[in-house]
Amino acid sequence: MKKIIILGSTGSIGKQTLEIIKKNKKNFKVVLLSTDKNINLITKQIKTFKVKNVVVTNNKKFEILKKKLKKINIFPDFENLDNKIKGKVDYTMSAISGIEGLRPTINIIKKTKRIAIANKESIICGWGLIQKELKKNKTEFIPVDSEHFSIWSVINDFNTSDIERIILTASGGPFLNKKIRSNILPNDAIKHPNWVMGKKISIDSATLMNKIFEIIEAKKIFNVDLKKFDILIHPKSYIHAIVKFKNGLIKIIAHDTNMKIPISNSIYLGEKKQNFIKSKKIDLNTLNYLNFQKINVKKFPVIKILKKITKKNSLFDTVLVSINDELVDLFLNSKIKFSEISSKIWLLINLPFLSKFKHQKPKNLAQIEKLNEFVRLKTRTLSVISKKK
């Protein structure tokens, strides 16, 4: 029986992971689940999978669930995992969104043989710390973002020096063929044409900020020079990555717009009898009309940010993530306009007191968390002040 941990089990990736496990439930034992606030859903998950250990990070919700489920071990954080979990589990899905997912990810590595990470902010801001823990604990790592899983699946037999070019694709989001108006509402921006995702990542897809993060993430994971990456618009989202090798081979990775494909493959990797999910037949119509396009920088100005990314790991990556996180929150709460997400990111990353972090390497987790709080506060303050003016 394969032992499983899911961090962020009430989010989109967490729910899909449990759906995959449910189809073959007798072969899995869910050791620990976690949520921030969604205690109604996690209560159902606890009963369905007979889970004994749960982390609820929201203090109020933690107290409510602790009184409600007295026979379950309910914890308020991810500290002292040795007392919560005996031995190593076989597989962990790390799917807590935002920088908040970094600490749990680092803490859980020592307790798992394999970790699949769907949290791009953790990799962007703390890859050096994650990599150190992976090596120290001999934990296998698999990226679960569809683009990164695609790249990972085809470069295993090659050295990074063999790679000539890596192209990530972007759907262009809900506004690809529409004029970006000044009165765009959050509900308009989260309507992704191909994927069903959370609000935050849907907004990042609409601005194309998601692709900036994916390139930074890929640069770190695969240790490939930033200059070798490119982005193409691909409205159908059928092709996820294209890798060109120096030997002339070009590998194109395609699959349905279904996150269960990379998730399932990360769970059953290397097993002869895999419980494959049902995928659609090869889409010849889409293959015949891939319709790749270059990015319109005027419509998606965040692409210019790629010029600001440093070659080496730096705290500037955290600055960028934190600014964007706060601006997306402000937009979702109708505090700023959709177009202001891109313009304010560009304005803020060029401020001297923030751009200086390009020259500072992340030292520890506390430093990253402290910087995140500082940058989000400054972003919120400066954005609200400029809005009032």
- For residues 231-243, average pLDDT: 94
Per-residue pLDDT tens for 322-336? 999 999 999 999 999
* Confidence label for 388 from pLDDT (cuts 50, 70 and 90): low
| pLDDT score recorded for residue 197 | 79
CB-CB contact of 189 with 205 (8 Å): no
pLDDT score for 69: 94
C-alpha dist (Å) from residue 303 to 207, 246, 307: 9, 26, 8
Q: Kindly list the distances between the CA atom of residue 376 and the CA atoms of 7, 11, 201, 380, 384, in Å, as whole numbers in the listed order.
A: 24, 23, 18, 6, 12
pLDDT band at 279 (very low <50, low <70, confident <90, very high): confident
One DSSP character per residue, 46-81 reads: HHHHT--EEEE-SHHHHHHHHHH-TTSEEESSS--H
pLDDT number for residue 180: 82
| Residue 93 Cα distances to 142, 143, 145, 179, 272, angstroms | 10, 10, 12, 38, 21
Spatial contact of 169 and 232, defined as CB atoms under 8 Å apart: yes
pLDDT at 102 over 60: yes
pLDDT at res. 286 = 87
Q: Which of 120, 126, 34, 125 is nearest to 77 (CA)?
A: 34
Question: Residue 386 — pLDDT band, cuts 50, 70, 90?
Answer: low
Please name the CATH architecture into which domain 2-143 falls. Answer: 3-Layer(aba) Sandwich (3.40)
Q: pLDDT tier at 350 (50, 70, 90 boundaries)?
A: very high
